[in-house]
A = this chain, B = another copy of it.
Amino acid sequence: MTVAEDRLDATFAALADPTRRAILARLARGDATVNELAAPFDMTLPGISKHLKVLERCGVISRSRHAQFRPCHLEGEVLDVALSWIEENRRVWKERFDKLDEHLRDLRRTPSGRREGAPDD
């Protein structure tokens, strides 16, 4: 498996949890300490720390090593890898349906199923 595939696995797995998504949504608005992140949840600090470790491992958040409160920071570019994957496949899918739609419109315009101007058999 490639590094890119590994990263996609880890990023999508990290996103597959409501607490982790809420943490990321909070960090999108600004850096925050573990205490600030834990406040809205009915969770212990070790519980939140476990989620932060999952997010840190896939690189979607980083934490300062030296600052006293080690604020967490969203690494927005990591989300782009996941975003691109979905966007690309969504685009391929949509193009196929747009073509199908166009084809159906063509058929409706020429009830015999032949394009206008096509020679008779």
Listed in ascending order, the chain A residues whose CB lies under 8 Å from chain B are 1, 5, 8-10, 12-13, 15-18, 21, 24-25, 27-30, 74, 76, 79-80, 82-83, 85-87, 89-90, 92-94, 96-97
Please, how many angstroms separate the alpha-carbon atoms of A93 and B83 in the complex? 14
> Known contacts A79-B86, A83-B87, A86-B86; is A96 also within 8 Å of B28 by CB?
yes
Q: Given A24-B89, A82-B86, A86-B79, decide whether A18 and B30 contact each other with a Cβ distance below 8 A.
A: no
Beta-carbon contact of A12 and B13 below 8 Å: yes
Q: For the complex of A and B, list the 7 residue pairs with the smallest distance between their C-beta atoms, beginning with the closest.
A: A12-B16, A13-B16, A12-B15, A76-B93, A28-B93, A28-B92, A28-B89
* Chain B hits for A8, CB < 8 A: 15-16, 18, 21
